[in-house]
Copies of this chain bind each other. A is one copy, B any other.
Amino acid sequence: MPTMRAVQVPRAGGDFELVDRDLPTPGRGEVRVRVQACGVCHSDMFAKEGVMPATPFPIVPGHEIVGLVDEVGPDVLGGWDTGDRVGVGWFGGACHHCGPCRRGDFITCENGRIPGVTFDGGYADAVVVPADALAHVPDELSAEEAAPLMCAGVTTYHALRSSPARPGDRVAVQGVGGLGHLGIQFAARMGFEVVAVSRGREKEDLARELGAHAYIDSEAGDPGQALAEMGGAAVVLATATRGEAISGLLPGLDRRGQLLVVGAAETPLQVDAMSLIGPVASIAGHASGTSTDSEDTLRFARLTDVRPMIETMPLERAGEAYDRMMANDARFRMVLTTGQ
């Protein structure tokens, strides 16, 4: 029986270990993808630490997967074929029969699956996924570049395009990191006036190179106030990890503005009702996106030359890549490569 390399977490909180596993076989409606690159995402922590009860151990993490269709299981519709370049992100397939699915709202599926969290993911030479989790990957994007777009990319692109901001509006991106460095690029290519908000002045030049028209050093004063003085933002894309930092930007919203929350914060947002009522403002959550949202992301990245900044490591150094990401040292996304 053919085998493959995989990096697995043996138990909640356990260390990564490189193992040989049987090459998995796609079941009904599934395909096997030969992994070329897999991004390392902060949410891999859900698997590593066993945060969600649904995670089966040992688990192979990884939900920013790009590779080639290797084998197509029975009853797969949609024309997927061996050799197709595909990507898989946080969205690992919907059930197609729950309430949200019957209404076509797959991202809120009550039985939604997540690669690398509820089933084995992309820290491996191959992965088996439901066909509805597949996104086509354009030839113009390398596997390494496309991988982070499957999660960090689709999250920021899809959040921004679905937001109330219209071209020419001011949009603030909080944080110049894994999410933010993509959010700035996407926002600029969408015709927004982009304000980057980050700690210190160190990332200002980079933010401007990525497309930001203005920069706010959140340590130099009250960033919400600074944003308000610029005229306020139609949308603030918040990527901070502390709730207070996120809600602290509420005063920076223009009337009818929206604070867009895309990442799990460690502490709750503190929201004064009047900060929403007076300016008729809102706070909205945004979940990553389905496989077609990912396709749109890749298509937009190709069309407008958006690319993630990445550091690559071979699969067997997954633990090192993960540590670097968790330490916030990555500039800005770690990507594992298999050499395939």
Instruction: List residues of chain A with CB under 8 Å of any chain B CB.
Output: 77-79, 95-97, 100, 102-108, 132, 157, 160-162, 166-168, 186, 189-191, 193, 213, 243, 246-247, 255-256, 258, 261-265, 268-287, 290-292, 296-297, 299-300, 303-304
Contact = CB atoms under 8 A, between A and B. Distances in A.
B103 A303 contact: no
Contacts of A299: 168, 193
A78 B100 contact: no
State the copy count for this chain: 4
Nearest to A291: B102
Grouping DSSP codes into helix (H, G, I), strand (E, B) and loop, the A interface class, with mixed when no group exceeds half, is: mixed
Contacts of A262: 277
B189 A255 contact: no
Contacts of A265: 272-273
B107 A95 contact: no
Nearest to A231: B99
B268 A277 contact: no
18 contacts: A78-B97, A108-B280, A157-B168, A162-B166, A167-B186, A167-B190, A167-B191, A190-B190, A261-B276, A262-B277, A264-B274, A270-B271, A271-B283, A274-B285, A279-B285, A280-B284, A280-B287, A282-B283
A69 to B, nearest CB: 15
B256 A300 contact: no
A93 to B, nearest CB: 12
